Amino acid sequence: MNIIETVDLGRRYGATWALRECSIAVPEGHLVALVGPNGAGKSTLLNLVMGLSSPTRGTVSVLDGLAAGSLDALDGIGFVAQEMPLYRNLSVADMLHLTRNLNRRFDEAYARRRLDDFGIDRKKKAGKLSGGQRAQLALTLALARHPRLLVLDEPTAPLDPVARHDFMATVMTAMADDGVSVVLSSHLLSELERVADYLVLIAGGRVRIDGPIEALVAEHWVVRMQSGETSPDWTPIESAGGPRSHQLVRLRSADLALPPDREARAVGVEELAMAYLREGAPQPALVLNGAS
């Protein structure tokens, strides 16, 4: 089953394409890292997946063929945005009551247990909670719907390291205990490298690379070669330059072996992602050190 499937998906605002020619098929059971610089099209893609906006062209379906934005699709998707859209003047208990009444399925007993585990006072107003507590409340409201897909749009960006760790630990527990698939949009490549097993990288409104991280890493190598050297066995992605450059290349197949005398080394997820971001979009680099 694919949790997200798009075919030639595009979204235009006026004369500007925020997303174009997006065709991906993401299987269930993964934690998907959605990566790209600001303005790349990440939030546009997530809005289309959630049914919050309509495609200009192409199609998008979720949860094995359900139309994005349909009631059946929305019943199976939990969503947490960076802004943590909570009613600040409502108490935590009121937020639980409101969410229960706005959803066809909501496990209030589960939500109460989770909040108690984090020591969150249900009498306290949402606006008086710490950043980490607000994040846990928003995540609890999403998970209490027992979704099949959890969509997270940069929710950890405003959090301190401890709150960010606790948030991601909760997400990983939900995956292990309930089989939830997760799509996590974030600038923090170092964080994503620890938890994600599937990558969708967008730059300039286009998907540059997508697939299981293990397979993508196996297809990419940094090789040393003469300047201007080419090979039918690989596609160059990024070069360090110089008369004998070290070039990051993508092999035609992960099973393709480099010549034994070729100087080469494997790449990590962060190095791989940065190469495609530099190749596809001359924009400011992603934050790599955990800063928001």
pLDDT in tens, 194-253: 889 999 999 989 999 999 999 999 999 998 877 667 788 888 888 755 445 788 889 988
Read off the pLDDT band of 288 (50, 70, 90).
Answer: very low
Residue 91 belongs to domain with CATH number: 3.40.50.300
Cβ(91)–Cβ(125) below 8 Å: yes
Q: Report how many domains make up the chain.
A: 2
In a domain, 188, yes or no: yes
Q: At which of 160, 194, 212 does a domain end?
A: 212
Tell the residue number behind the tokens 């949860």, with chain if given: 63
The span from the CA of 201 to the CA of 210, in Å, is: 6
Higher pLDDT, 118 or 186: 118
Question: What is the pLDDT at residue 255?
Answer: 80
91-116 per-position pLDDT tens digit: 999 999 999 999 989 999 999 999 99
Whether the Cβ atoms of residue 90 and residue 126 lie closer than 8 Å to each other = yes
| Sign of the alpha-carbon dihedral angle for 97, 150, 279, 221 | positive
Last residue of a domain, one of 212, 228, 255: 212
Question: What are the angstrom distances between the C-alpha of 164 and each of 86, 170, 224, 249?
Answer: 18, 10, 39, 34
Band of residue 155 on the pLDDT scale cut at 50, 70, 90? confident
